[in-house]
Amino acid sequence: MALPLLAVTELGASSVLMGVLSAASYLPWVLLGLHAGAWVDRARKRPIMLGCDVASGLLLLSVPLAAWAGVLTMAHLAAVAFLTGCCTTVFVTAYRAYVPVVVPQAGLVTANARLQGGEQVAQVAGRGLGGVLVQVLGAAGCLLLDVASFAVSAVCLSRIRATEPAPVGEVGLRARITEGLRFTWADPHLRTLGLFSAIGNLAFTGLQTLQVVFLVRDVGAAPAIVGVLAATISVGGIAGAAAAPWSGRRFGTARAMVAWALVTGPFALLVPLTSNGPGLVLIAVGTMATGTGLVAITVIMTSFRQAYCPPELLGRVGSTAALFTYAAVPAGTLTAGALGDVLGNRTALWVVAALFTGYGCVLLVSPLRTLRDLPDRAGLAVHRDPPPSPPRTPGRGEPWPRGPRGHGWFSAGGVLRGRRRGTGAPPRAPCPARSASG
């Protein structure tokens, strides 16, 4: 929240520049995501996460220092957004592969729900207080709190004592990336969820890109109000994280995911209806509902991948899924920014809200529509390598299958050698006299 507000209020960024700033933070997923997954699968996860926390804190610290020195530019903000995005790409890839090390498979949905819930609580506090603190401390000063949050994260990670298995395999980086891509693309469930996430993120990041500049310039909301409204999506996220385990148990994980997308998607249409005063309730309700659905879906999908994929492939499958998801984000932010400059922010919001409303239809035309629950690793084994059917002996009177002429157990006429035609009885012993005479 502090970086976009700093760009709008201090540097006068246009909608296009806001799109560039938002795209810069997601572009590393496209450029580095696959490499991050292959690297994470070959190394211990916790040291990687600690290094990412330290690097992110130092990068963000450069922004208030530059602002106070009077040398802050949009190029500096874009560079920091890109480099912290690189750290986030590696951190999240390692973090999702590290959760099954700490939590047994039976507890993955509950664990992911709690992690997502904690993240949304932090988002509520950060976004809700961010607008107020921007007015008191300035956007640059608020970034110091971000720096402190990365320090707290590093301390917490250093206190985890779970034993992480040693990485195995000496295959080259390119071969490992190819293996992860092939595994994800060949699996119908993973492929469908990747396309579903890409379309949803394309539309949702378009909404997020236009929201700040729409509220400040079109609606005329104060920065404090913008911060509070931005926090409503995280309030919905808390509800979604709490409801995801229950919905999966009650309706089945596959059905729950379809329902969350179809029910909460249309609430995005409330965002472009927003006006100042009482009309701000519309964007609050719209973002809260979409946040509820998105987080519930994220909990279910993340838990599915962790329970479904082999542990040695989890980092690469996660980064490949993230490539599907985040490759659409720069396109969504840049397209939304361009639409905002050409059509106006409100009209552009109508376009992206309509797309977000229908993104759940992807699941209705996929194999997931027939499932109650998403499969786990046992289901993957059956799906990938079905056991061979036992051979069956034809009963009395049933024809024997025809085979290659004159090969194996089949005679030139297609009848099993050594058995009398049509009876299934064992062969008679040859007559010695006829055999001797030929």
- Percentage with pLDDT > 70 across the chain: 78
Residue 379: pLDDT band with limits 50, 70, 90: low
In this structure, of 171-185, 190-204, 238-252, 330-344, the range with the lowest mean pLDDT score is: 171-185
Check residue 422 and report its DSSP letter: T
pLDDT at position 171: 62
Q: What is the pTM of this model?
A: 0.65
Segments making up each domain of the chain, as ranges = 2-158+177-377
- Percentage with pLDDT > 90 across the chain: 5
The yes-or-no verdict on residue 161 having pLDDT over 90 is: no
Identify the residue with better confidence: 224 or 353.
Answer: 353
The yes-or-no verdict on residue 150 having pLDDT over 80 is: yes
Residue 58: pLDDT band with limits 50, 70, 90: very high
Residue 372: pLDDT band with limits 50, 70, 90: confident
Each residue of 87-120: pLDDT tens digit? Answer: 988 898 888 888 888 877 777 777 777 777 777 6
Identify the residue with better confidence: 318 or 57.
Answer: 57
The yes-or-no verdict on residue 338 having pLDDT over 90 is: no
Check residue 216 and report its DSSP letter: I
Name the token pair of 29: 């997923």
Contact of 131 with 226, CB cutoff 8 Å:
yes
Give, for 324, the enclosing helix (H) or strand (E).
helix 314-343
The stretch 128-135 carries a mean pLDDT of 64
What fold, for 2-158+177-377?
Answer: Growth Hormone; Chain: A; (1.20.1250)
Sign of CA dihedral 159, 162, 168, 174: negative
C-alpha to C-alpha distance for 263 and 243, rounded to whole angstroms: 14
| Mean pLDDT, all residues of the chain | 76
